[in-house]
């Protein structure tokens, strides 16, 4: 099982980035995918998740209306479109996967739910 994040970088306040989580080694349609982030000195927190069906999504209150998660089943990737970024969004962003079997509409923003993790990609928002 492999998850590889990309798309991070340095952006100014108000800018946008699109993160990608490329997956391999498992049946993509059987897994929910979550995005998490960890700022310096802070605990890792859930940002957003999408169910295996793609029909259910969850967003942290801090990113609602600014971030959008989506699945590309043809490429086995999950995207996180981040708009109107602020310095508070600066963190290392991780994607994670959990097998959900027949729970097609399940996903969770709790990191305890996830079994597989990527290495992360740095997002820095300058003021």
Q: Give the single-character DSSP code of 103.
A: -
Q: What band does 104 get if pLDDT is binned at 50, 70 and 90?
A: confident
The Cα–Cα gap between 69 and 12 comes to 21
pLDDT at 8 over 90: yes
Q: Give the single-character DSSP code of 14.
A: T
Q: What band does 101 get if pLDDT is binned at 50, 70 and 90?
A: confident
Residues 39-80: tens digit of each pLDDT? 999 999 999 999 999 999 999 999 999 999 999 989 999 999
Residues 11-38: tens digit of each pLDDT? 999 999 999 999 999 999 999 999 999 9
The Cα–Cα gap between 42 and 45 comes to 9
pLDDT at 9: 98
The Cα–Cα gap between 11 and 15 comes to 6
The Cα–Cα gap between 126 and 73 comes to 33
The Cα–Cα gap between 87 and 64 comes to 16
């Amino acid at each position: 099982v492999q998850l590889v994040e990309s798309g991070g970088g340095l952006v100014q306040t108000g800018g946008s980035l699109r993160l990608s989580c490329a997956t391999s080694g498992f049946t993509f349609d059987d897994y929910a995918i979550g995005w998490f982030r960890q700022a310096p000195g802070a605990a890792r927190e859930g940002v957003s998740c999408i169910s295996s069906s793609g029909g259910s999504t969850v967003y942290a209150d801090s990113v609602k209306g600014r971030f959008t998660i989506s699945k590309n089943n043809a490429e086995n990737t999950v995207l996180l479109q981040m708009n109107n970024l602020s310095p508070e969004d600066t963190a290392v962003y991780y994607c994670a996967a959990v097998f959900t079997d027949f729970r097609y509409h399940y996903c969770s923003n709790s990191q305890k739910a996830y079994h597989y993790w990527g290495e992360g990609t740095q997002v820095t928002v300058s003021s």
